Amino acid sequence: MDSIVVQGGKALNGQIPIAGAKNACLTLMPATLLSDEPLTLTNAPRLSDIRTMTQLLGSLGAEVTSLQDGQVLAMSTHGHINTRAEYDIVRKMRASNLVLGPLLAREGHAEVSLPGGCAIGARPMDIHTDGLAKMGAEIDLRDGYLHAKADGGKLKGAVIDFPFASVGATENILMAATLAKGTTQINNAAREPEIVDLADCLRAMGAQIDGDGTSTITVQGVDRLHGATHRVVTDRIELGTYMLAPAICGGEVECLGGRIDLLEAFCEKLDAAGVSVTQTQDGLKVARKNGRISAVDVTTAPFPGFPTDLQAQMMALLCTAEGTSVLEEKIFENRFMHAPELERMGADIEVHGGTATVRGVARLKGAPVMATDLRASVSLILAGMAAEGETRVARVYHLDRGYEHVVSKLSGIGADIERVKDR
């Protein structure tokens, strides 16, 4: 098992390239199941989760070829399709559930194991299955698998009202609706950029979709989809993470490929905290305005609100802010597991349920800490870069699921960071 060792106190300067979005790519890949023609994704991130999805799609009969050092994925599902997604693969990653809608839409039936992923709280499948049931699917949970069958072998359009704006359910229903008979209307749909990116890809494949990026999406089902080539949108979570690096450490960094519209609520909080964010021709330039960071309050919310996937990283910044910050986690109930690790580095954090109160300290001190999930991993690295002395972050296998080449990217802008094998 590996650890990441950081020597803190280095100001950061230079440019850092931002990869294609993990959450978008993991959603786009199952779209290959909707057509027997090739689907090619460019700007794909090189992550373990992408390899897991490649393995899953391969087990279902898709051919996935990685080109250009993994940044291009050439996919085709033109032969026999296996409609059972096995537990041994699905358990590794939450996004595996996104094969359910496409399999059901194309083949009329599917068996998909309940998914895994980071232990950050309950993420039930009932909102997915309730939506598919309204489209005429009979779904039964047996032996840990969702057994789904479309009435008459084909899904039918329906009006679907989500109880909350679920990203995964919106994606699953959106893909399923492209081949359904008739019109599907998704109310209270998620509005994330990854949803828009999926809709753009599906439209390139021949789907008829309107309203993506709003809370109401309308899909007119078609008989078949064709092949397409699509560029994966910039990863706004990697973008936000690396924007925080110069905010925490000092210096000035340009995040190549970044766009303010992907992270407006986040950028507003950075501005309030004393961080300058400027749109350039090539990306976003980030630097402290002057002196110490100011405390700000943060409440996570679905897009366009403050992303839950940047809460841990923002907490690392606020640990050394001047004043007291309050962070409210409204998306997942178990997402402050990084707080005790930050406290090992000298942070003053008090957690009560879904609220964390952070009293800024003058300086963090390096310490051995342990990553508990994907975003917690990188928050500890950021904290270590601002701390005095050495920080060793253990269990960084989480990191490989969401950040490509994190060590080389951060060392390229001046961080003293290395990945080492544990003794």
Q: What is the CATH number of domain 23-231?
A: 3.65.10.10
Q: What b/e readout covers 317-338, taking b as 16+ CB neighbours within 10 angstroms?
A: bbbbbeeebebebbbbeebbbb
CA separation for the pair 199, 101 (Å, rounded): 14
Say which of 118, 201, 249, 319 is annotated catalytic: 118
CA separation for the pair 366, 386 (Å, rounded): 9
CA separation for the pair 255, 240 (Å, rounded): 9
What's the pLDDT at 372?
84
Residue numbers in the known binding site for phosphoenolpyruvate are: 22-23
Those residues of the chain that have pLDDT short of 50 are 117-123
Residue numbers in the known binding site are: 22-23, 94, 309, 331
CA separation for the pair 217, 212 (Å, rounded): 5
- pTM, two decimal places: 0.92
CA separation for the pair 70, 47 (Å, rounded): 9
Sorted by sequence, the CB contacts under 8 Å of residue 131 that are 6+ apart come out as: 160, 162, 169, 172, 173, 186
Q: Are 386 and 320 in contact (CB under 8 A)?
A: yes
- What would the pLDDT profile of 278-296 be if each residue is shown by its tens digit? 999 999 999 999 888 999 9
What's the pLDDT at 122?
40
Q: Which CA distances in Å does 225 have to 41, 102, 178, 281? A: 16, 12, 8, 36
Residue numbers in the known binding site for UDP-N-acetyl-alpha-D-glucosamine are: 94, 309, 331
Residue 415's identity, in one-letter code, is A
Alpha helices (H) along 108-235: 126-134, 167-177, 193-204
CA separation for the pair 237, 239 (Å, rounded): 5
What's the pLDDT at 121?
39
Q: What b/e readout covers 12-47, taking b as 16+ CB neighbours within 10 angstroms?
A: beeebbbbbbbbbbbbbbbbbbbbbbbbbbebbbeb
What's the pLDDT at 114?
84
Q: Would residue 319 show up in a list of annotated catalytic residues for this protein? A: no
Domains 2-15+235-421 and 23-231 share a fold: yes
Arch. (CATH architecture) of 2-15+235-421: Alpha-beta prism (3.65)
What's the pLDDT at 373?
85
What's the pLDDT at 120?
34
Give domain limits for the chain.
2-15+235-421, 23-231
Maximum CA extent, the chain: 66
